[in-house]
Structure 1
Amino acid sequence: MTERVCVGAIAGAFGVRGEVRLKSFTSQPNDIAAYAPLYTEDGSRSFTVRLTRPVTGGLGARLSGVETREQAEALKGVTLWADRDKLPALPDDEFYHADLIGLSVHDTGGALLGKVRAIYDHGAGDILEIHGPGRRRVLLLPFTRAFVPTVDLAAGRIVADPPDEQE
Structure 2
Amino acid sequence: MTRPDRICVGAIAGSFGVQGEVRLKSFCADPEAIADYGPLWTEDGTRSFTVKLTRASVSGGVGARLSGVATKEQADALKGVQLFADRDRLPSLPDDEFYHADLIGLTAQDTGGVTLGTVRAVHNHGAGDMLEILGPGTKSALLVPFTLAVVPTVDLAARRIVVDMPEGLE
Alignment TM-score > 0.5, same fold: yes
Gaps of 5+ in 2: none
Q: Aligned match of 1:70 in 56, 70, 73?
A: 73
Matched, 1:95 2:98: yes
- Tell me, what secondary structure is at the counterpart of 1:91? coil
Matched, 1:160 2:163: yes
**Separation in structure 2 between the aligned mates of residue 164 and residue 137 of structure 1, nearest angstrom:** 19
User: In the TM superposition, what whole-angstrom CA distance separates every residue of 1:35-58 from its partner, at most 9, and x where no partner exists?
Assistant: 000000000000000001121110
Deviation for aligned residue 1:2: 1.7
What count of residue pairs does the alignment treat as equivalent? Answer: 167
**Separation in structure 1 between the aligned mates of residue 23 and residue 45 of structure 2, nearest angstrom:** 21
User: In the TM superposition, what whole-angstrom CA distance separates every residue of 1:19-47 from its partner, at most 9, and x where no partner exists?
Assistant: 00100001111110000000000000000
Matched, 1:36 2:41: no
Question: One-letter code of the match for 2:110?
Answer: D
Q: Are residues 80 and 152 of structure 1, via their aligned partners in 2, closer, same or farther at CA, if it must alter by over 3 Å? A: same
**Separation in structure 1 between the aligned mates of residue 29 and residue 165 of structure 2, nearest angstrom:** 27
Deviation for aligned residue 1:166: 6.7
Pairing 1:48-59 to 2, within 5 Å after superposition = 48-54=50-56, 55-59=58-62
Question: One-letter code of the match for 2:129?
Answer: D
**Separation in structure 1 between the aligned mates of residue 165 and residue 139 of structure 2, nearest angstrom:** 16
> Structure 1 segments of 4 or more deviating over 3 A?
164-167
Gaps of 5+ in 1: none
Q: Are residues 43 and 166 of structure 1, via their aligned partners in 2, closer, same or farther at CA, if it must alter by over 3 Å? A: closer
Question: One-letter code of the match for 2:111?
Answer: T
Deviation for aligned residue 1:135: 3.1
**Separation in structure 2 between the aligned mates of residue 70 and residue 25 of structure 1, nearest angstrom:** 24
Q: Aligned match of 2:4 in 2, 5, 23?
A: 2
